């Protein structure tokens, strides 16, 4: 199993720079639907796949947004723990260009963009 130190990371500042580009990218938000209302990144490339629904969704078919294992994927959650697990899972399944947002959406809001919102 991949340790948190081995999970590829992207800092909130690096993530902000990626958001400014129009290049192909999937922002995979693994938070639960109720969390999305409290804090959100407004970008057309955000795709929500709650961790609680992963087994059911994955059992049927890989979501179209992430089918290409070469796609750049940045995974996020509230504080970066669930997204770290998802990043490690995707890496083990063969995705090549996937990174975890260090500190999650909370760190992004605190360090880069307060308009995103924070919650506890």
Catalytic residue among 28, 77, 86, 88: 77
Q: Say whether 77 is catalytic.
A: yes
- Name the β-bridge partners of 99: 74
Alpha helices in the chain (DSSP H): 12-19, 33-36, 54-60, 81-92, 104-111
Q: How far apart are CA 102 and CA 93, in angstroms?
A: 21
Cβ–Cβ < 8 Å for 51, 58: no
Active site residues: 77
């Amino acid at each position: 199993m991949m340790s948190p130190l081995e999970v590829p990371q992207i800092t909130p500042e690096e993530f902000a720079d990626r958001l400014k580009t129009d290049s192909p990218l999937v922002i995979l938000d693994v938070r639960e639907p109720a969390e999305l209302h409290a804090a959100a990144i407004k970008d057309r490339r955000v795709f929500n796949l709650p961790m609680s629904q992963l087994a059911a969704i994955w059992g049927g078919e890989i979501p179209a947004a992430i089918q290409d294992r070469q796609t750049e994927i940045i995974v996020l959650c509230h504080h970066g723990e669930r997204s770290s697990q998802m990043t490690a899972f995707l890496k083990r399944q063969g995705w090549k260009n996937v990174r975890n947002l260090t500190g999650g959406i909370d760190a992004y809001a605190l360090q880069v963009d307060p308009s995103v919102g924070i919650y506890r």
